[in-house]
């Protein structure tokens, strides 16, 4: 059984490789500095599982889905940030917290290689909180009757961005952004964008 390990840190990769080679049935662990290098290697060698210890962007999550479709036997273990847990679990991958003991990490890999998805108690608790948070945000947004685009604009306003900066990010004109902000201020029953920002944070109108 062959494993690919992705981590930007050489020392971390060396520690993981040593631990993984202690698992019965693993023949070799190929380690890579980033996702792109590993992806190129997959065309050369049969790989049974990929372990990822780096922050993934949306493009890489899509790549993982594509790899799952192409190599349906391949398993994934992902050490992700808390805000990425829902994306990881949606892939059917095992979610690993970064501060767990090495022995526990090895057990999770063993479980995953047997075809089982591992979800820690911490991950279950985290998902519950995230779902609850999203539900509360949706309730507040519905109360103020904000559209999806208005929430998007409001989120950028809370980051202190100007109308021009928001327009550039959303591919809209500053005039259009100004109109959106006027509508947002009216719906929130405030007078300024500063007050709108305060309401957004107070009532959780934007995601984190």
For the stretch 120-157, pLDDT in tens is: 666 667 666 665 565 565 666 667 888 889 989 998 99
pLDDT of residue 208: 47
| pLDDT tens by residue, 63-90 | 888 888 888 889 999 987 777 777 787 7
Q: Which CATH architecture group holds 137-202? A: Orthogonal Bundle (1.10)
Q: For residue 27, what pLDDT is reported?
A: 93
What SS3 class is residue 6?
strand
Q: If you average pLDDT over residues 177-205, what whole number do you get?
A: 86
Task: Name the residue among 102, 45, 53, 49 with its Cα closest to residue 73.
Answer: 49
Domain 2-119, CATH class in plain words: alpha beta
pLDDT digits (tens, 9 = 90+) for 91-113: 888 888 777 788 888 888 888 88
**What is the pTM for the complete model shown?**
0.58
Of 35 and 119, the one with more pLDDT: 35
Same fold, 2-119 and 137-202: no
The domain limits of the chain are 2-119, 137-202
Residue identified by tokens 């994306």 is: 87
């Amino acid at each position: 059984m062959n494993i690919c390990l992705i981590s930007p840190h050489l020392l971390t990769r060396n520690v993981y490789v040593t631990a993984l080679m202690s698992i019965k049935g693993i023949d070799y662990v190929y380690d890579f500095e980033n996702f792109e290098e590993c992806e190129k290697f997959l065309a050369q060698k049969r790989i049974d599982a990929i372990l990822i210890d780096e922050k993934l962007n949306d493009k890489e999550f899509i790549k993982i889905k594509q790899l799952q479709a192409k190599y349906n036997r391949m398993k994934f273990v992902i050490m992700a940030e808390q805000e990425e847990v829902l994306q990881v679990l949606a892939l059917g991958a095992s979610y690993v917290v970064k501060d767990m003991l090495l022995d526990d990490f090895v057990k999770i890999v063993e479980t995953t290689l047997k075809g089982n998805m591992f979800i820690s108690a911490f991950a279950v608790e985290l998902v519950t909180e995230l779902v609850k948070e999203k539900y509360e945000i949706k309730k507040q947004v519905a109360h103020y009757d904000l559209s999806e685009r208005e929430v998007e604009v409001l989120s950028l306003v809370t980051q202190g961005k100007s109308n021009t900066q928001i327009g550039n990010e959303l591919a809209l004109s500053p005039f259009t952004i100004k109109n959106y902000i006027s509508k947002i201020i009216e719906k929130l029953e405030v007078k300024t964008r500063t007050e709108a920002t305060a309401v957004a944070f107070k009532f959780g109108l934007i995601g984190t």
